[in-house]
Amino acid sequence: MAETLGKNTVAQVKLTVKDFQSDQDVRWCPGCGDYSILAQVQRVMPEFKHKKEDYVMVSGIGCSSRFPYYLDTFGIHGIHGRATAIASGVKMAKPDLQVWVATGDGDGLSIGGNHMIHMLRRNVNVKVLLFNNEIYGLTKGQYSPTSILGQVTKSTPYGVIDNPFVPVSLALGAGATFVARTMDRDPKHLQAMVRRAEDHHGSAFMEIYQNCNVFNDGAFFTFTEKETRPDRVVYLEHGKPLVFGKEKEKGIRLNGFTPEAVSINDSKYSVNDLLVHDEKDSTLAFILSDMIHNPDLPRAMGVFLATERVVYEEEMQNQISRAKSKKGIGDLQKLLNGDETWIVQ
């Protein structure tokens, strides 16, 4: 915590991880991916440019939504699905605050799906950390809107028959200006994505693959574990070709609008034939997100899209400023009087 140092001036105290750890015991299951996400956020927050007291972490209901209790900032543990609606209110009412949302695949995409898409389309400057574990953890193991077809859960003993959401595609479709994907078991990348979200001016949507070791253990291991990750994950970097593989020997090229994995070590293709990532290109972002449907392609991680658009709460404030400069500051007595009064003696 920033303290006044001896003299009357408040020094620019460098904050540390400890400053963002609350005094509450963390109560997630041992081994839960949430621990890593909390740790990475706490590690990165001291670098953030705004004052600590200006951060508000809002959540809904679910395991991920306990997040605010463990972070020593202002926070609201909301009601199920409504984190983005509450956060929108916080940000609209006081745009100086830095508002983040911690939510999950159930909270943010099922019960709260409507609020999520509307916040993203409005481009309220709120940063969303969506913990995706493809399961309901807090209610002990029912399927979620990201659970995969056929998945056997407590509420689907014969397998899931709902087609799952692709969270990145949903966010892109809703008109989000920043969309990224990362994972709990890649701390460096997770930190980098949190920094990027912090720096983004507008709604930021970040899907985080998070392992629920109790109800859906290993759902993402093929992407997160060292042995398989190089072949199963391609990292997106703006202006760089999409290269992956243990020896960086593979890449993604576009065949028309269809991405395909190719070897760049043989004579047919070289790195020059590969798709070069462009964060400003929303069409490309959809193509990259859609790779999820082709099991032969690696999973894309990183920033899919980072564009700028009018920020909702700023435009809201602008309308007020314009009204004031045109009409003058409102006179309450005149408002009460209305257009026409008469006097009774």
Partner 1 sequence: MEKTVKNLEDVTIRFAGDSGDGMQLAGTQFTNTAAVFGNDLSTLPDYPAEIRAPAGTTYGVSGFQIHFGSTDILTPGDTCDVLVAMNPAALVTNLKMLHDGGTIIVNEDSFTEKNFKMAGIQSNPLENGSLSRYQVFRVSISKLASNALADMNLSTKVVDKTKNFFALGLMYWMYNRPLDQSIKFIQEKFGSKDPQIAEANLRVLKAGYNYGDTVEIFTTRYEVKPAKLPPGTYRNIMGNTATAIGLVAAAKKAGLQLFLGSYPITPASDILHELARLKEFDVKTFQAEDEIASICSAIGAAYTGSLGVTTTSGPGMALKTEALGFAIMLELPLVVIDVQRGGPSTGLPTKTEQGDLLQAVVGRNSEAPLCVLAASTPADCFEAAYEAARIAIKFMTPVICLTDGYVANGAEPWIVPNVDELPEIPVEFAKDPSTFKPYARDEQTLARPWALPGTPGLEHRIGGLEKEHITGNISYDPDNHDFMVKTRAAKIERIANDIPLQTIDGDSEGDLLIVGWGSTFGSIKAAVEAAREKGISVSHTHLRFLNPMPRNLGEILYKFKNILVPEINNGQLITLLRSKYLVPAVGFNVIRGLPLSSEDIEKRIESIVGGENG
Is 6 or 328 the residue whose CB approaches partner 1 more closely? Answer: 328
CB of 99 to partner 1, least distance (A): 9
C-alpha span between 147 and 44 (Å, rounded): 30
Is-contact 37 131, C-beta < 8 A? yes
Helix, coil or strand: residue 27: coil
Helix, coil or strand: residue 226: coil
C-alpha span between 231 and 83 (Å, rounded): 36
Is 85 or 264 the residue whose CB approaches partner 1 more closely? Answer: 85
Is 120 or 219 the residue whose CB approaches partner 1 more closely? Answer: 120
Please tell me the count of residues contacting partner 1 according to CB under 8 A: 63
CB of 146 to partner 1, least distance (A): 22
Judged by CB under 8 A, does residue 314 bind partner 1? Answer: no
Judged by CB under 8 A, does residue 49 bind partner 1? Answer: no
Q: Where do runs of H (alpha helix) occur along 63-186? A: 67-70, 83-93, 105-106, 113-122, 167-173
E strands, 201-280, are: 204-209, 233-236, 243-244, 250-255, 258-263
Quick note: the x/- pattern for partner 1 over 326-345, rule CB under 8 A, is xxxxx-xx-xxxxxxxxxxx
Judged by CB under 8 A, does residue 276 bind partner 1? Answer: no
Q: Which two tokens stand for residue 344?
A: 């009774």
Q: Which two tokens stand for residue 115?
A: 């609020």
Quick note: the x/- pattern for partner 1 over 11-30, rule CB under 8 A, is -----------x-x------
- Note the Cα 207 to chain centre separation in Å: 5
Residue 178, beta-bridge partner list: 204, 306
CB of 328 to partner 1, least distance (A): 7
Is 65 or 289 the residue whose CB approaches partner 1 more closely? Answer: 65
Q: Which two tokens stand for residue 317?
A: 């404030």
Q: Looking up tokens 């460098």, which residue turns up?
A: 14
Cα 194–Cα 240–Cα 167 angle in degrees, nearest 5: 45
Judged by CB under 8 A, does residue 127 bind partner 1? Answer: no
Judged by CB under 8 A, does residue 319 bind partner 1? Answer: yes
CB of 171 to partner 1, least distance (A): 16
Q: Restricting to residues 57-116, name those near partner 1 by CB under 8 A.
A: 58-59, 61, 68-69, 72-79, 82, 85-94, 96-97, 114-115
- Return residues touching partner 1 (CB under 8 A): 1-2, 22, 24, 51-56, 58-59, 61, 68-69, 72-79, 82, 85-94, 96-97, 114-115, 118, 316, 319-320, 322-324, 326-330, 332-333, 335-345
